[in-house]
């Protein structure tokens, strides 16, 4: 029996390759540390390791290969991409993993140096900032700046009341109080953050095409999601440099300006170069384990972008630290995604049988984890993925409407035992285009762009359109959601809208949704039917426990210590 086990019953050991900040790409990569002669040891770069893996897969197409990264920092010259040649097509796997007990850190940021005291003070600069500011040449535009590995606050003033300009387009032209900004501000630098009052579930960050500060008239470069009536903040302006830890980019002089938190010359300042750091596209059987990713850029929307519900995220976009696109049987496990202007992890288009397990996501600018299939049509190819045991906190720090976990046109997934907390908006979202969106010109134009019009009955009934709404048969179970909807309003612990049927929301614990922002602990909103909410606990919330509009099953849920008179809400 022992002979049989040794000859055929035990799996072969994986082939190992090593990468280290102390390595050399001329070495073999087969040693975890440099040898005593200094002539062999680990690789220096991921790109060299990838080339070695490809060579190994040519020799053993079904083998197990493990690339282990030693502890230390890995600044990336470009996003690291894995494609069809980088994983086994049938059996076996390729892993990029942390060396046992060590912490490899991947970043897309680069050091910012050459700081000098600012000697000239423009109009609009707060008096407290005089003598405190430092500047350096700006090599390129940037929306984020980091010091000590943490995102710094960009110079900002507000909030102010904003109204549409009756002489222009309600989604581009707006009025602010005259005289807020000095003429020393660069038009190319300025951005406005708008939260419309009638739609408290979304924000826009918009560059300016025209600014008449004296007259209080402004025009944005692209259309806002909704008419510009509500609250606004102006960013990247001299007036906002009012405290330590704030910065701005002056496009006119191409200078970065910083008021460092610790005083004196700024140290350990970095700027991002990429939105995302890792892309798995058209690849199978790749595992990412135990790595840290940080330092991505914030995205800027463009006129031709396609969007998901209420412009909560972009369709088929490269705006996450880790992106899977048409990837199958891959996993992201035990990774730490932190401190980035971008989102965390997204699975786009034809992603199937992938696992996102036991990761930590925190202090991100966008969505935590997004599963986004093809737009409504015949391609139902984003399904059977697992999102389990992740902790997601303090994401959506720049785009406040970003959900913690977001499924759009994605079905048959399991979203289980995740912990989501301290989020500016909703915890978990399952959604798709609502039937009125299938009439051209109805609703947000960016939401209609992903629709595959040649494959769907334009203007069809809800019944006609259900086969094309692919967010169906998902299981959302055992998740804990608390302290969400802390910044926006009309948000929820777990939210469904515009999905297919057969989604099961079971045994989740939603609690401590406080203040005036939350709408409900669990909410099946517009065009939701045929789903089941079962054995959930909603407790200690300043909102209804469950909100419904259509025919869904609500079975044996526990609603405890909620807003008086509003345990269940209909309509």
> CA 361, CA 359: separation in Å to the nearest integer?
6
- In this prediction, residue 13 carries a pLDDT of 87
Q: What percent of the chain has pLDDT over 70?
A: 98
- Residue 394 carries which DSSP code? S
> CA 125, CA 382: separation in Å to the nearest integer?
50
> CA 511, CA 248: separation in Å to the nearest integer?
38
> CA 45, CA 19: separation in Å to the nearest integer?
6
With cut-offs at 50, 70 and 90, classify the pLDDT of residue 335. Answer: very high
Q: Among all chains, which residue has been given the structure tokens 């005089």?
A: 130
Query: In whole numbers, what is the pLDDT of the chain averaged over residues?
Result: 94
With cut-offs at 50, 70 and 90, classify the pLDDT of residue 333. Answer: very high
SS3 82: strand
> CA 96, CA 331: separation in Å to the nearest integer?
10
> Looking at domain 304-571, which of 2.40.128, 3.30.450, 2.160.20, 2.60.40 is its CATH number?
2.160.20
Question: Phi/psi at 410 (nearest 5 deg)?
Answer: -140, 130
Tokens of 529: 């039917």
Residues 78-104 have a mean pLDDT of 96
Question: Phi/psi at 146 (nearest 5 deg)?
Answer: -120, 145
Q: What percent of the chain has pLDDT over 90?
A: 90
pLDDT in tens, 223-276: 999 999 999 999 999 999 999 999 999 988 899 999 998 888 999 999 999 999
Stretch among 184-198, 423-437, 554-568 having the lowest mean pLDDT: 554-568
pLDDT over 80 at 416, yes or no? yes
Residues 536-552 have a mean pLDDT of 95
Residues 427-447 have a mean pLDDT of 90
Stretch among 191-200, 291-300, 363-372, 559-568 having the lowest mean pLDDT: 559-568
Identify the residue with better confidence: 50 or 303: 50
Q: Which residues pair with residue 361 across a beta bridge?
A: 337, 392
- In this prediction, residue 518 carries a pLDDT of 87
- In this prediction, residue 320 carries a pLDDT of 98
pLDDT over 90 at 6, yes or no? no
Identify the residue with better confidence: 109 or 252: 109
- In this prediction, residue 8 carries a pLDDT of 44
- In this prediction, residue 222 carries a pLDDT of 94
With cut-offs at 50, 70 and 90, classify the pLDDT of residue 89. Answer: confident
Stretch among 2-6, 154-158, 163-167, 231-235 having the lowest mean pLDDT: 2-6
- In this prediction, residue 1 carries a pLDDT of 39
Return the closest-CA partner of residue 240 out of 298, 297, 193, 181: 181
Residues 506 and 557 sit within 8 Å (Cβ to Cβ): no
pLDDT over 50 at 346, yes or no? yes
**Which residues in the chain are classed under CATH 2.160.20?**
304-571
Residues 73-78 have a mean pLDDT of 96
pLDDT in tens, 459-507: 889 999 999 999 999 999 999 999 999 999 999 999 999 999 999 999 9
Instruction: Give the burial string for 255-290 (b: 16+ CB within 10 Å, else e).
Output: bbbbbbeeeeebeebbbbbbbbbbbbbebbbbbbbb
Q: Where are the alpha helices (DSSP H) in 60-147?
A: none
SS3 190: coil
Residues 198-227 have a mean pLDDT of 94
pLDDT over 60 at 60, yes or no? yes
Pairing of strands 153-154, 191-196: unpaired
Tell me the CB-side half-sphere exposure of residue 562, using CA atoms within 13 A: 23
- In this prediction, residue 5 carries a pLDDT of 39
- In this prediction, residue 565 carries a pLDDT of 65
Residues 529 and 551 sit within 8 Å (Cβ to Cβ): yes
Residues 314-339 have a mean pLDDT of 98
């Amino acid at each position: 029996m022992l002979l049989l086990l040794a000859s055929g019953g035990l799996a072969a050991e994986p082939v190992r390759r090593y990468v280290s900040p102390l390595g050399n790409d001329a070495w073999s990569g087969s040693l975890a540390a440099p040898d005593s002669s200094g002539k062999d040891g680990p690789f220096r770069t991921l790109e060299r390791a990838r080339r070695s893996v490809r060579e190994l897969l040519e020799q053993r197409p079904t083998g197990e290969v493990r690339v282990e990264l030693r502890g230390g920092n890995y600044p990336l010259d470009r996003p690291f991409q894995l494609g069809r040649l980088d994983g086994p097509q049938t059996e076996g796997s390729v892993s990029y993993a942390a060396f046992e007990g060590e912490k490899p850190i991947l970043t897309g940021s680069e050091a910012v140096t050459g700081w000098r005291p600012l000697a000239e003070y423009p109009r609009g600069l707060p008096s407290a900032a005089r003598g405190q500011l430092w500047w350096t040449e700006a090599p390129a535009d940037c929306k984020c700046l980091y010091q000590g590995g943490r995102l710094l606050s960009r110079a900002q003033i507000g909030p102010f009341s904003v109204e549409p300009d009756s002489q222009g387009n309600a989604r581009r032209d707006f009025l602010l109080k005259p005289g807020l900004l000095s003429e020393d501000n660069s038009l190319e630098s300025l951005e406005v953050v708008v939260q419309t009052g009638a739609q408290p579930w979304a924000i826009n960050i918009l560059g300016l095409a025209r600014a008449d500060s004296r007259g209080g008239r402004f025009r944005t470069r692209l259309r806002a999601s909704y008419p510009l009536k509500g609250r606004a903040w102006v960013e990247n302006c001299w007036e906002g440099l009012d405290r330590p830890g704030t910065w701005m980019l002056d496009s006119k002089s191409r200078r970065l300006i910083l008021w460092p938190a610790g005083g004196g010359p700024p140290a350990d300042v970095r700027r991002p170069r990429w939105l995302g750091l890792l892309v798995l596209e058209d690849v199978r059987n790749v595992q990412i384990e135990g790595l840290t990713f940080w330092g991505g850029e914030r995205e800027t929307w463009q006129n031709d972008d396609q969007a998901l519900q209420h412009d909560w995220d972009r369709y088929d976009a490269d705006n996450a630290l880790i992106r899977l696109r048409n990837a199958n049987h891959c996993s992201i496990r035990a990774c730490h995604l932190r401190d980035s202007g971008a989102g965390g992890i997204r699975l786009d288009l034809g992603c199937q049988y992938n696992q996102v397990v036991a990761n930590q996501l925190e202090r991100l600018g966008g969505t935590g984890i997004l599963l986004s299939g093809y737009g409504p049509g015949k391609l139902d190819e984003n399904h059977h993925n697992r999102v389990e045991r992740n902790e997601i906190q303090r994401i959506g720090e720049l785009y406040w409407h970003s959900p913690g976990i977001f499924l759009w046109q994605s079905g048959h997934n399991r979203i289980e035992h995740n912990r989501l907390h301290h989020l500016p908006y909703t915890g978990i979202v399952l959604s798709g285009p609502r039937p009125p969106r299938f009439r051209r010109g109805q609703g947000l134009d960016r939401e209609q762009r992903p629709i595959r019009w040649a494959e769907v009955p334009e203007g069809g009934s809800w019944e006609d359109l259900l086969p094309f709404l692919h967010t169906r048969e998902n299981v959302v179970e055992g998740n804990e959601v608390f302290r969400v909807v802390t910044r926006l309003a009309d948000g929820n612990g777990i939210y469904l809208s515009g999905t297919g049927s057969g989604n099961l929301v079971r045994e989740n614990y939603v609690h401590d949704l406080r203040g005036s922002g939350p709408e409900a602990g669990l909410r099946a909103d517009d065009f939701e039917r045929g789903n089941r909410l079962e054995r959930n606990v909603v407790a200690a919330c300043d909102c209804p426990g469950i909100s419904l509009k259509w025919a869904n099953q609500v079975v044996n849920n526990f609603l405890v210590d909620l807003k008086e008179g509003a345990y269940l809400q209909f309509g």
